[in-house]
Structure 1
Amino acid sequence: MLLLSIIAYLVLTILVGVWASRRVKTSDDYMLAGRSLPLLLSSSAMFATWFGSETVFGASSEFLKGGLYAVIEDPFGASFCLVLFGMFYVRRLYNMNLLTLGDFFKVKYGKTTELVASIFLAPPYIGYIAAQLVAMGLILNVVTGIAVWEGVVISAVVVTVYTYIGGMWAITITDFIQTIIIIAGLLIVAVILAVKAGGVSTVISEMPRESFRFLPAFEVKEIAAYVAAWCVLGLGSIPSQDVFQRSMSSNSVHTAVRSCYLAAALYMTIAMLPLFISLCTRHLYPDQINGDTQLALPSMVLMHTTLPVQIMFFGSLLSAIMSTTSSAILAPAAIFSENVVKPLARHRYSDRQLLILTRLSVLIFSVLATVMACMRSNIYELVGESSILSLVSLFAPLTFGLYWKRTSRGGALAGMVLGMLTWIIFEFCETSWPSLIPATVVSVLSVVGGSLLWPKNEKHDQDRVKTIE
């Protein structure tokens, strides 16, 4: 019965994608839902940005190992990102009327910078998509007993089909439905387990004191690691296409800003439920957390709860992961088609041709992520790595480009390339310092120094923008 329910849910999701595809007439409809989403749909879409495998599986697994201190990156850093994006980025980006984040670098710095930025923007999503596919593979493995890689392939096919057909409209509508299922499912499971465990106070009281530690010790290296944990998603996901496309899909700039704040509050609240459920699991079934802690929650639910609870829990898990995966596939596809293939082809594509190209790009990134998911299985690491690459290369050029008028093409390119090179060097040398900190510092200094050394030519820039338009 549980398996049939999961199959029915997957089929229903595809049907929603087919229905949503009726609204897709242009590339703008496909990538940004026609910039027409009301507050409710926009907020649920923003909430679903990261509420996937890393929140339910990854964060709960890390929480069992190291308490609150181990999950600074997610959910705290993720919520922090939405607040910052709403405060400092949404208004300026929305008013530029861009199709992709790569378009910002084209308008601000020119086509060369657009191409380099897009190369840094798109590939990191492969690891992020792979993390979501691994999670769905784990679910199908627990429920059906099939190999994880087989579950990965099945999941990839389902998500790719409805994303390919309906684009951002399919993602948004399924996000709204899935958000309701996520909240209802996790709440019901949390309440049932809390009652079984003797109440919330009983579960909390058994937590070791160090599990409540939230601040670092007064040591330079630990403080650096703590700041790095906040920055991975907190700053690293600001220059990301999925956050951009979800916020830019709103029907007004005011809706876009409010949806960021509402989504941040909702994310921070709902993300606590998987952490609490993991505590209940440790209290009620301590032997269940031995081995792969990523499997602790689904295994416990499958072995110790009734069928209705299982359906709600696995339904909420699939909802959370599928909503994240779909937008993560569309994001690099949009960048790749609009900001890489289109400029390199030196051909003025019609809107219909661009739409076809974006759909083909969806297939390409889905295949690449599926291959990676079959090779690697640590969800938390896959997600963290994908955000770090954006932070060390794109955060500084984007931020300075929005707020410092003297930022030049030379400064932006220097920030991207030198930031990435610094990260690679520190990763290769395996120092005890978080590689993203020196890499981000170098990126910031390179943007400033490069802009001063190679200042922009105002007249040339104005002519370039007119040509682009």
Structure 2
Amino acid sequence: MAVDVPGLVSVIVFYIFILVIGVWGSKKSKKVEKTCSGSKSEVSIVGGRNINVLVGIFTMTATWVGGGYIMGTAEAVYSPTQGLIWALGPPAYVISFLLGGLFFAKPMRSKRYVTMLDPFQLRYGNIFTAILLFPALVSDILWVACILAALGGTMNIILGLSSSLSIIISAAVSIIYTFLGGLYSVAYTDIIQLCFIFVSLWLCIPFLVLSPAVTAISQTPPLNQSHGGHTWLGELKLADSGKWLDEMLLLALGGLSYQALYQRILSAASSAQAQITCFAAAGTVFIMGIPSVVIGVAAASADWNQTEYGLPPPFERGDAGKILPLALQHLTTTWVSVIGIGSVAAAVMSSMDSALLSSASLFTQNIYKTTLRKKASERELQWVIQISVLLVGVAGTGLAFGNDSVLALWLVSGDLIYCVIFPQLVCVLYFHCANTYGAVSGFGIGLLLRGLSGEPLLGLPPMLLYPGWREENGIIIQYFPYRTLAMLFSMIGIVTVSWLINLIFCHKIVPQSWDVLGVFKEKNENKEEEVPSPEEPNCALNTKF
């Protein structure tokens, strides 16, 4: 395929513009460092806690509206085995932001945490916090891979540019400006990127809908009778409802366990402002998903035999994951498709920079600063953030090559977060009885159940077969909500084990010497203090591990 030179030049100009905005953001960050009372590393991580509401709404929305969101939604709507009812991204993220504003923004922001892992570090100590970093890091790397894979496929189809080269260039641009300016560079580039996504995608819609190859939506026939496909509306059978619920909760509740979300919540000037940012983002993220739905519908309604793509249609060729760029290329004019690819590029960078900064912040604040180098200088911490950004970017870029389904990577990236970190976060914020014994138990339960359930994308066969499982093309697919089951058992394990351990040690059922994790310590009876009530256990928590 020949390279579309005008289109390539347009994309390069866009990248240069974003890079300039990122550099400008880094200069803004330097100015804030001079006037902010907090440390320089906190300016990079939470922007000195003075990101205004409008910028906060833009950057929070842009973080979630990535390549996975745009292309994954279009893929779900187009696919004859799924349809609109399986396009879970928009409604799930609305739920996620609303719950975040109602239950998570205030307790996190009011205590002036710097990262999502701070409450764990305060209650459980450094070792368990380091353990929790692992699933968060893996999730961010998979997220980066997901959105870069989306962009690589898009540029290859529309511009004729090598997917590998597209991935490398896009990753390099995101890494550079995140490396330079931290949250300020990320936030200000997010504003430009989100505006471009909104305008460019909506601009493409009329051309898609009015394309001669696209039939009236009301007259859309089944896409693929041989595969039992339905129209773009899709169908939710009772036997599939467990899988549908599982994926909805994975996106909605799993989204509450990303450092990227709390990075924006904690950068707000107040708890009230953080809540407003979440509520507003719930509306904007839904609006940003509408163009992808329309593109999926148009692709499902198209007669591909009238286009250069021809027959068989994309689904039968295994190209459902690339349906958005294919629709832009074959159902619109050349210049419109180039604008469309710009929107995907913007979406990719707006999410990738957040994932890079997220992992870098967690490692620097909760591992390096508190465990490895407690006396590290601010300059040293800045270098650690920048090196971490680079390493996470390289790891995610390496995984982006050769994956066909953006939707699959999108879902897997949240698996560990949902099954392991979400129950931990709920318990550390709302269950005061939670201690290190319970946290370790819950972590092990969630990880074990999720691992035994298998993962087709990673080639892991299931060891536990839940009711309703099916074998499709030699691969076992679980239709039971196994992720949610792992999450619930993890949460139950945390609370139950914590309660039992509190009961055992506080009532001295076993000797204090058996407290191998050093969670409890007896009160000094010689100290003059208020006598506890009969219901209050005569011990104090020292949940450092």
TM-score using structure 1 length: 0.91
Deviation at 1:13, TM superposition (A): 1.0
Deviation at 1:198, TM superposition (A): 11
More off after superposition, 303-312 vs 125-134:
303-312
Deviation at 1:112, TM superposition (A): 2.3
Give 2:46's aligned residue: 32
Pairing partner for 1:228 from 246, 256, 260:
246
Letter of the structure 2 residue corresponding to residue 93 of structure 1: M
Structure 2 CA distance, aligned partners of 1:204 and 1:350? 64
Q: 1:284 to 1:425 in 2, by over 3 A?
A: closer
Give 2:21's aligned residue: 16
Give 2:410's aligned residue: 383
Does residue 1:259 correspond to 2:277, yes or no?
Answer: yes
Q: 1:86 to 1:311 in 2, by over 3 A?
A: same
Q: 1:315 to 1:377 in 2, by over 3 A?
A: same
Deviation at 1:459, TM superposition (A): 7.5
Deviation at 1:279, TM superposition (A): 1.8
More off after superposition, 353-362 vs 252-261:
252-261
Residues 100-151 of structure 1 deviation map (CA, whole Å, 9 limit, x = unaligned): 1111210232222211211222122111100111112122212332321222
Q: Secondary structure at the match of 1:27?
A: helix
Structure 1 CA distance, aligned partners of 2:92 and 2:403? 24
Give 2:157's aligned residue: 142
Give 2:463's aligned residue: 429
Q: 1:354 to 1:88 in 2, by over 3 A?
A: same
Give 1:239's aligned residue: 257
Structure 1 CA distance, aligned partners of 2:41 and 2:194? 26
Q: Is the 8 A contact 1:197 1:280 kept in 2?
A: no
Q: 1:293 to 1:102 in 2, by over 3 A?
A: same
Superposed counterparts of 1:170-319, under 5 Å: 170-196=185-211, 202-206=216-220, 211-212=232-233, 216-219=236-239, 222-287=240-305, 288=309, 289-290=313-314, 291=317, 292-319=319-346
Does residue 1:42 correspond to 2:56, yes or no?
Answer: yes
Does residue 1:56 correspond to 2:61, yes or no?
Answer: no
Structure 2 CA distance, aligned partners of 1:314 and 1:139? 7
Q: Secondary structure at the match of 2:254?
A: coil
Q: 1:3 to 1:459 in 2, by over 3 A?
A: farther
Q: 1:102 to 1:437 in 2, by over 3 A?
A: same
Give 2:8's aligned residue: 3
Q: Is the 8 A contact 1:77 1:229 kept in 2?
A: no
Deviation at 1:367, TM superposition (A): 0.8
Residues 257-291 of structure 1 deviation map (CA, whole Å, 9 limit, x = unaligned): 11111111111122021111222234345345523
List alignment gaps of at least 5 residues for structure 2. Answer: 1-5, 34-39, 223-229, 455-461, 470-479, 503-518, 524-538
More off after superposition, 6-15 vs 424-433:
424-433
Structure 2 CA distance, aligned partners of 1:321 and 1:233? 18
More off after superposition, 290-299 vs 92-101:
290-299
Does residue 1:125 correspond to 2:140, yes or no?
Answer: yes
Does residue 1:408 correspond to 2:435, yes or no?
Answer: yes
Q: Is the 8 A contact 1:110 1:464 kept in 2?
A: no
Pairing partner for 2:174 from 151, 159, 169:
159
More off after superposition, 453-462 vs 12-21:
453-462
Q: 1:166 to 1:454 in 2, by over 3 A?
A: same
Q: Secondary structure at the match of 2:178?
A: helix
Q: Which of the pair has the greater relative contact order for Cα pairs under 8 Å at 6+ separation?
A: 1
More off after superposition, 89-98 vs 281-290:
281-290
Give 1:394's aligned residue: 421
Q: Is the 8 A contact 2:216 2:301 kept in 1?
A: no
More helix by share: 1
Does residue 1:68 correspond to 2:84, yes or no?
Answer: yes
Structure 1 CA distance, aligned partners of 2:52 and 2:369? 31
Q: Secondary structure at the match of 2:257?
A: coil
Letter of the structure 2 residue corresponding to residue 277 of structure 1: I
Q: Is the 8 A contact 1:44 1:175 kept in 2?
A: yes
Does residue 1:442 correspond to 2:489, yes or no?
Answer: yes
Q: Secondary structure at the match of 1:250?
A: coil
Letter of the structure 2 residue corresponding to residue 238 of structure 1: L
Deviation at 1:34, TM superposition (A): 1.6
Q: Secondary structure at the match of 1:49?
A: helix
Identity %: 24
Residues 275-311 of structure 1 deviation map (CA, whole Å, 9 limit, x = unaligned): 1122223434534552312333323323453454234
More off after superposition, 61-70 vs 172-181:
61-70
Structure 2 CA distance, aligned partners of 1:169 and 1:462? 42
How many residue pairs are counted as aligned between the two chains?
A: 462
TM-score using structure 2 length: 0.79
More off after superposition, 338-347 vs 202-211:
202-211
Deviation at 1:330, TM superposition (A): 1.1
CA RMSD of aligned residues (A): 2.5
Q: 1:440 to 1:91 in 2, by over 3 A?
A: same
Does residue 1:335 correspond to 2:399, yes or no?
Answer: no
Pairing partner for 2:383 from 347, 351, 356:
356
Give 1:78's aligned residue: 93
Q: Secondary structure at the match of 2:256?
A: coil
Deviation at 1:218, TM superposition (A): 4.2
Structure 1 CA distance, aligned partners of 2:521 and 2:220? 64
Structure 2 CA distance, aligned partners of 1:205 and 1:268? 26
More off after superposition, 190-199 vs 12-21:
190-199
Q: Is the 8 A contact 1:76 1:268 kept in 2?
A: yes
List alignment gaps of at least 5 residues for structure 1. Answer: none
Deviation at 1:172, TM superposition (A): 0.6
